[in-house]
Amino acid sequence: MTTHNDTTQYTSAEMMTITAARALTNNMTCFVGIGLPSEAANVARLTHAPDVTLIYESGTLQTKPEVLPLSIGDGELCESALTTVSVPEMFRYWLQGGHIDVGFLGTAQIDRFANLNTTVIAANHPEGGKNGAHSYANPRVRLPGGGGAPEISTNAKEVFITVKHSKRTFVKDVDFITTIGFGRDGKGRDNLPNIGRGPSVVITDLCILKPDPATKELIVTSLHPGTTKEDVIEATGWEIKFADSLETTPVPSEKELHVLRELKARTEKAHSAQEAI
Amino acid sequence: MTKFMTLKDAVATYVKDGDSIALEGFTHLIPFAAGHEIIRQKRRNLSLIRMTPDLIYDQLVGAGCVRKLTFSWGGNPGVGSLHRVRDAIENDYPCALETVEHSHAAMANAYEAGAAGLPLAVFRGYVGSELPLVNKEIASIICPFTGEQLAAIPAIKPDVGIIHAQKADRAGNVLIEGIIGVQKEVVLSAKRSIVTVEEIVDNLEVTPNACVLPAWTIDAIAVAPEGAKPSYTLGYYDRDNNYYKQWDNISRDRDSFNQWLESHVFGQGDV
């Protein structure tokens, strides 16, 4: 996808962030991942959802960063938080204890059942099998790992995912399930006690996807303006389906674009003045 | 009871070849000075534990100190990969590296279990994840009261726990502020512990619920100003993001890493 759309004056990346931001509402408590989710969550907070509660896994509760954090432990998160708790308390009381409405995650790879892989890319490795269990020890690409995601995905009441759309990222079956969406067969959450309902929306730079209520397979429910079905088909590694009532995502408002650009400019300025190694 | 020591003496006294060591700090208060001292003293066959290995473990692994790494998120935060760790995993350079991979929730629970003197951590985790297929330490346990299946992993009880903190008073009580991560759990779960601090003060001036480690929980305290750089210490200095970015290039290549090691670790005076 191009990075800039001259006719409407916003980029596909901006479209993605703002669409992701709109998924959050004012009364939600959101456990935020670093990167795209953090950008979207803070745009939400600075536009339509000023009272959204943002929580980062470093222990910062109800944080209101002026600039985007570069890492999960950024001082900005702590200094603008209501309070900061220990990491065990964060995962035990606040996440596992059932206080999180939405887990907002990014990923390296996602499949048709919204399973996430941030562990190893292995499928094309000559000595690797299709299943992560066989190729884990000898990966083609070693990714950072799960971090907080495996438990965010199951202990939050629901999960939002935002990730750029490409054939490398949107695969039929992830090489390794780091974090469950709906499992290898779409039934991975069935009949389990005390588990959240899982991914409810995936926002990309091309479209919005939601799990089919029956099969849990991700289907496209809304195309971003200027995106065609063919664009999405081309960027998806399985035979992607489209909802009967396919919508067009509303374009970003002037205010949303302004807030996002100001946030990014503030962030860049804050993080640029640094000393050399 | 704690002793004030130089960092050199503290590492010489408490860190042995073959030890399991947790140098913690959840992207804040990362004990870089202590890690560099371990490299300078050429400790070998260490089993390192850390939720986010970060640059400090990339450096320890690249320097050949490590045979085993337990972790839950192994990247260069905000930048990319840990190239020395990857070179060790993929090419056994400079030596083979065994890895044990967890999630953050698992490791946080395991540290807490260690601090609580329990043999295992029990939590609601790893549901539907394939990590249990590749990590034999991940088991499950049935709740005797509800019948619910829960995840179980061994408690973390390192030989040595090492953290950095803002300050100690003259009696050796330590104050940790800001993102406190698993700092308290590491010290309480470890057999031996070293704390580096920015400074020694007459009075910690704590509020009643501050995160304080009493002197008698710590074996050695070493003053190490800027001892968490290039990570940050709340109230003292910010993260040096350029260092993190430049590390990507330095660590990508074995020669440039080894040059860095000579000039920035072995070439530096002891703290």
Q: What is the pLDDT along chain A (277 residues), one digit of tens a residue?
A: 444 444 458 999 999 999 999 999 999 999 999 889 999 999 999 999 999 999 999 999 999 999 998 888 888 899 999 999 999 999 999 999 999 999 999 999 999 999 999 999 875 544 444 444 447 887 888 899 999 999 999 999 999 999 999 999 999 999 999 999 999 999 999 999 999 999 999 999 999 999 999 999 999 999 999 999 999 999 999 999 999 999 999 999 999 999 999 999 999 888 776 544 4
Alpha helix segments (H runs only) across chain B:
7-14, 32-40, 54-62, 83-91, 104-115, 131-134, 183-189, 241-252, 254-261
Residue B179 to residue B168: CA distance in whole angstroms: 17
Q: What's the average model confidence in pLDDT over B142-159?
A: 98
Q: Give the pLDDT score at A133.
A: 43
> What is the number of domains present in chain A?
1
In chain A, the residue whose alpha carbon lies closest to the alpha carbon of B88 is A142
**A235 in reach of chain B (CB within 8 A):** no
The pLDDT of residue A137 is: 81
Backbone angles phi, psi at B17, to 5 degrees: -55, 140
Q: Which domain holds residue A222?
A: 12-275
Place of tokens 């530096």: B268
State how far Cα A218 lies from the chain centre. Answer: 15
* pLDDT at position B270 over 80: no
pLDDT for the residue A245: 96
Question: What mean pLDDT comes out for the span B192-196?
Answer: 98
Give domain limits for chain B: 3-102+157-255, 119-154
d(CA B111, CA B177): 19
Q: Which of B90, B39, B41 is nearest to B66 (CA)?
A: B39
Selecting among A57, A76, A217, A256, the annotated active-site residue is: A57
CATH of domain B3-102+157-255: 3.40.1080.10
In this prediction, residue A71 carries a pLDDT of: 82
Structure tokens at B126: 């790893």
In a domain, A6, yes or no: no
Pick the range with the lowest mean pLDDT from A160-169, B73-82, B102-111.
B73-82
What residues of chain A lie within 8 A of the CB of B230, using their CB? Answer: 277
Residue B71 to residue B48: CA distance in whole angstroms: 9
Question: Given this model, what pLDDT does residue B268 score?
Answer: 80
A244 by Cβ neighbours in 10 Å (0-12 / 13-18 / 19+) ranks as: exposed
The alpha carbon torsion through A66, A69, A70, A72 (nearest 10 deg) reads 170
A65 within a domain of the structure (yes/no): yes
pLDDT at A134: 46
Classify the C-alpha dihedral A61-A195-B110-A71 as positive or negative. negative
Tell me the C-alpha to C-alpha distance, in Å, between residue A236 and each of A121, A184, A231: 17, 17, 9
Mean pLDDT of chain B: 96
All residues of chain B having their beta carbon less than 8 Å from the beta carbon of residue A137 are 134
| CATH value at residue A253 | 3.40.1080.10
- Tell me if A34 and B71 make a contact (CB, 8 A cut-off): no
Cα torsion angle, B103, B104, B107, B113, sign: negative
Q: Which amino acid is at B112?
A: E
Maximum alpha-carbon separation in chain A:
55
Residue A4 lies in a domain: no
Kindly calculate the radius of gyration of chain B based on its CA atoms and give it in whole angstroms.
Answer: 18
Q: Using a CB–CB cutoff of 8 Å, tell me whether B145 touches chain A.
A: no
Q: What is d(CA A49, CA A39) in angstroms, rounded to the nearest whole number?
A: 14
